[in-house]
A and B are shown apart, each in its own frame.
Chain A
């Protein structure tokens, strides 16, 4: 009896190992039933897998629903994570149809890794803002205010896009911050401001807007010095036609509306 159980476990392990390489590796890990898209039948079905930067979570989730409504039979699945992590997954063979990056550098990496089909198109821009506790109790009004004595400031690490944007602003203003922590992604910075452990954090305008009510947003003009672009592209070996339709959807009026809601800027 126990031998039978062991054998079953071993078989399950192998089956799991084999099937996982065929499936799109989404963040949620849920297995999906991928209906084969009928050839030449236009957009009458199929699953579109989109790998997108974490900062696109709110807007792309809404866009995905609208896309499904406009394309009956199509299911859109998302994997939201840090852009560089997504590039790692893609270059290591993860199956997807569309990749939307939070910066050009990671899209370039994906292109170099040979996973991008055709050209990447910039669909939005983003810039930094200061997130503070509701009501701004510490009275932070400018970027230079972040260096006031006794403030706990948290930023992104220089290795991630929001951190490199922070570095650019520091260079252009001559204000060198002394953060208490350099977080790995922008949502972690936001969390530390929300929990009250940081007085201020440098996040994207869009993250501060999405978290309205839990944090206040302080805009500062120097953020103009570090605008980052969000490019989108189709993945090689994916469903080219459907991917292209989704790209157009993001670049079109629906995309502009949803992205604008959380504060993304237009492509420049």
Chain B
């Protein structure tokens, strides 16, 4: 009985991609993709997505642990705040970042005063925008796993005399690895597809801020064939990322 809606759900994801495939001229695909602008955009996308995934791990893992283990009241509210970028329209996220880190934003003003540099229109701005939208994916995956596994092992390790840092390194982290794997993949994929916050906060300039999604948007204005070709490239990269990481993280289960 679940087959029909399940098939519908699958069709909703698969058919649009098929639509793109049908629309594109596969023989012209290589020539449409192999332009300097596309390569610059692809390279910038891969570099910034990797950097923002790293930032997600460095900042998101501690946050997930704190959220999962915290006992203070208000942690619930904190959790919904962390998830905010998931539900915010991307342009809203971009505007929020702009009014924080832009030249007139209070943090942006401070940075400009201290360093003489401003954040918008830089590759750093792209990484910040991507980290902003991608981090919740990592935090959610990790926090779910942490709550599922409980903290019995950590307590045992602590009673055996392990210091908190040792417990984190030798017990918590290994337990988290599968969830960390899927969180990293999700964050990377989300960062790769980030569009609204980037174009609003970082702008769009080749080799500096114009990532693959922005290049697709720019190309769609003049040459829809090459925009479709670039969209397929983006989909291929995303599928590769998920396929490479899937066996360990998803099929291995969370336990």
Contacts and interface: CB of A to CB of B under 8 A. Distances in A.
B128 to A, nearest CB: 14
A238 to B, nearest CB: 23
A179 B121 CA distance: 10
A134 interface: no
Nearest to A185: B221
Q: Interface extent on B, as a size class?
A: 20 to 34
Report whether over half of chain A's contact residues are helix, strand or loop; otherwise say mixed: mixed
Interface in A63-119: 82, 84-85, 88
Interface in A169-222: 179-184, 188, 192, 195-197
B254 to A, nearest CB: 25
Contacts of B217: 184
A160 interface: yes
A180 B221 contact: no
Contact of A180 (B104, B203, B210, B218): B203
A13 B8 CA distance: 9
A159 B222 CA distance: 6
A183 B204 contact: yes
Contacts of B8: 10, 13
Given A9-B5, A197-B98, A197-B102, A84 B121 contact: no
A160 B5 contact: no
Given A195-B98, A195-B99, A197-B104, A3 B222 contact: no
A196 B204 contact: no
A1 interface: no
A157 B204 contact: yes
B196 to A, nearest CB: 11
B205 interface: yes
B89 to A, nearest CB: 14
Contacts of A7: 5
A154 interface: yes
A239 interface: no
A82 B221 CA distance: 9
Nearest to B205: A181
A232 to B, nearest CB: 21
A85 B221 CA distance: 7
Interface string A1-39: 001001101100100000000000000000000000000
A196 B44 CA distance: 26
Given A3-B1, A13-B8, A184-B217, A192 B99 contact: no
Interface of B: 1-2, 4-5, 8, 12, 98-99, 102-104, 118, 120-121, 199-200, 202-206, 209-210, 217-222, 224
Given A181-B121, A197-B121, 4 more contacts: A3-B1, A84-B221, A88-B224, A154-B203
22 contacts: A6-B4, A10-B4, A82-B221, A84-B222, A88-B220, A88-B224, A154-B203, A159-B219, A180-B205, A181-B121, A181-B202, A181-B205, A182-B203, A182-B205, A183-B203, A184-B221, A192-B203, A195-B104, A196-B103, A196-B104, A197-B103, A197-B120
